[in-house]
Amino acid sequence: MKHATKALIAAMALCVSASAVASSHREAPSITKTPKVDASDFYMFNSYEANRGDYVTIIANYLPLQDAYGGPNYFALDPDALYEIHIDNNGDAVEDITFQFDFTQNLNSIEIDSDGNPSTPKVAIPLSNAGDASQAANVQTSESYNVTMVKGDRRSGARTPLGNFNKPFDYIGTKSFKEIDYPTYARSFIQPLNLGSCGKGRVFVGQRAEGFAIDLGRVFDLVNLNPLGSRTGGTNILADKNVTSIAMEVPKSCLVNSTGNDPVIGAWTTASVRQATLVNPSPASGISTTAKKGGAWTQVSRLGMPLVNEVVIGLKDKDKFNASEPKDDVANFKNYVFYPTLPALIQTLYPTAPAPTNFPRQDLVTAFLTGVPTVNKPINANQVPADMLRLNTDIAAVAADDQNDLGLLSIISGIQTDGRPNAGADTAGFPNGRRPGDDVTDIALRVSMGALCHSGLDAKVIPCAPGDAKAGKALLTDGTLKPATEFDSVFPYLKTPNPGATSQ
């Protein structure tokens, strides 16, 4: 038992430390230099807000690890970048619909008489605001964004402008928002999104509390945790961090393939920047004057399924993955899924925790590249395997109180009762889409060790058996848990951000 425990701890070290601060954060060498375009988490699920059963919610989080007190320049997104959410609704791993978000940062320079004498010059203040931050006149910078829907190729397809919207100012602190509570202020920025003949959705972009949970400090303290212990025994070290969310709620009818009768959609988010940057040695007063950027859009960030670039893709190919498109995944990265290194490393170091033996790992192909038959695999017989988040829009949403945070993994006997907050099987969760309360770290860790081989499903669905994964039923955990009941149950679901300061 002692050696087995060491093996499980080693598994946690290899899997969790690579994804330590979010399900996708600082995962590739290049993205560490440009945090504004770093996608940290991507969610897509059938909306479980009351009376919203005909909608799909999609959330792309960017600019992770925000310290709420990070003034005077808080957390604007990059006005020189293009943020996109892509939908594939026919299984060919190519975008059929893209929603583009293009941001603009505006300056409202606030200047005052420092001595109260009208004859002396007015001087710009150094703080971000001069009074109630819910009033635009009191804030020095603001952000707006255009939303465009593209049908077909993201660059050459038919474009439909969906509107220009404003982004709420970040939660500076309770004193700056003393005239209105921040949740009410932020919700006033949820706007209707007219999508034409298929109906209206909603859109919101703004700061939210970090939704990912992990006991980061203990991971780096020589993996000072118990992977066989309580799923609630750890400390969520990210509890005081914020992110910026790009959130949409879209009618299902706007997303599914209207001619193919297939309820399954795939999705991923990307961020792109211009190819060339010329630094200005003498920037003018204002904002966005320190450089000129031009050239074609170049993709630098990509996220579909959580944890793929962190614990599946090798270090030398992480930047390549961020720049790639799903249709090329098999050509570029198939061996990382067919012959994953994580289980092999565990077995080499600790023979008492044998790696799965079903090579190539078709169970991982099912989980990450195709979707599970009868659940979220497209009906297209010529489907192209690719990394994207897949959702069956016909599987009814489960209310927050009834969700099992182990999602689709909860169908496995023995693992089912390990789920929280309730013990029932729940096919509406990850990897059938991803909800905020799905514990993707525990799920991905267990799947990598062969949990799907113990699913009891037909071999044609999951092409492996329990004997192929002797450690696959271990109830591995990082000790942190944040179920759906700890999020809002209304759009945009992620909680109000942490304030930069509270009133004394």
Q: Per-residue pLDDT for 278 more than 80?
A: yes
Higher pLDDT, 302 or 261: 302
> Whose structure tokens read 């074609």?
296
Higher pLDDT, 262 or 118: 262
Mean pLDDT value across the chain: 88
Using pLDDT thresholds of 50, 70 and 90, give the confidence band for residue 205.
Answer: very high
Using pLDDT thresholds of 50, 70 and 90, give the confidence band for residue 353.
Answer: confident
**Residue 7: strand, helix, or coil:** helix
3-state SS, one letter per residue, for 20-37: CCCCCCCCCCHHHHCHHH
Percent of the chain at pLDDT > 90 equals 65
Using pLDDT thresholds of 50, 70 and 90, give the confidence band for residue 228.
Answer: low
- Over residues 392-426, the pLDDT tens digits come to 999 999 999 999 999 999 988 778 778 877 768 89
Looking at residue 370, what DSSP letter applies? I
- Is the whole-model pTM more than 0.75? yes
Alpha carbon separation from 158 to 102, 121, 192 (Å, rounded): 17, 51, 22
- CB-based contact 411:427 (threshold 8 Å): yes
pLDDT average, residue stretch 249-277:
94
pLDDT of residue 476: 77
Q: Please, which residues bridge with residue 117 across strands?
A: none
Burial label, 155 (beta-carbon count in 10 A; 0-12, 13-18, 19+): exposed
Using pLDDT thresholds of 50, 70 and 90, give the confidence band for residue 487.
Answer: very high
Note the Cα 451 to chain centre separation in Å. Answer: 23
pLDDT of residue 114: 81
Looking at residue 377, what DSSP letter applies? -
- Over residues 133-144, the pLDDT tens digits come to 999 999 999 999
Q: Per-residue pLDDT for 23 more than 80?
A: no
Using pLDDT thresholds of 50, 70 and 90, give the confidence band for residue 213.
Answer: confident
Helices 440-448 and 2-16, interaxial angle, to 10°? 120
Q: Where are the alpha helices (DSSP H) in 91-202?
A: 182-187
pLDDT average, residue stretch 176-183:
94
Burial label, 486 (beta-carbon count in 10 A; 0-12, 13-18, 19+): middle
> Whose structure tokens read 């993955």?
321
Instruction: List the structure tokens of 74.
Output: 């808080």
pLDDT average, residue stretch 81-109:
97
Using pLDDT thresholds of 50, 70 and 90, give the confidence band for residue 18.
Answer: very low
- CB-based contact 224:192 (threshold 8 Å): no
Instruction: List the structure tokens of 124.
Output: 């710009």
Higher pLDDT, 492 or 367: 492
Separation between Cα atoms, residue 81 and residue 418, nearest integer Å: 42
**Residue 129: strand, helix, or coil:** strand
Using pLDDT thresholds of 50, 70 and 90, give the confidence band for residue 32.
Answer: low
- CB-based contact 431:443 (threshold 8 Å): yes
Note the Cα 399 to chain centre separation in Å. Answer: 21
pLDDT average, residue stretch 309-334:
90
- Over residues 49-82, the pLDDT tens digits come to 999 999 999 999 999 999 999 889 999 999 999 9
- CB-based contact 162:248 (threshold 8 Å): no
pLDDT average, residue stretch 435-443:
92
Mark residue 47 as left, alpha or beta (left: phi above 0; alpha: psi -120 to 50; beta: remaining): beta
> Whose structure tokens read 């309770």?
174
Separation between Cα atoms, residue 128 and residue 131, nearest integer Å: 10
Using pLDDT thresholds of 50, 70 and 90, give the confidence band for residue 217.
Answer: low
pLDDT of residue 175: 94
Separation between Cα atoms, residue 435 and residue 212, nearest integer Å: 11
Instruction: List the structure tokens of 217.
Output: 């400090």
- Over residues 328-352, the pLDDT tens digits come to 999 999 999 999 887 877 677 657 6
Using pLDDT thresholds of 50, 70 and 90, give the confidence band for residue 503.
Answer: confident
Separation between Cα atoms, residue 326 and residue 117, nearest integer Å: 63
| Lowest pLDDT segment from 25-39, 167-181, 397-411 | 25-39
Q: Per-residue pLDDT for 256 more than 90?
A: yes
- CB-based contact 244:264 (threshold 8 Å): no
pLDDT of residue 28: 52
Percent of the chain at pLDDT > 70 equals 90
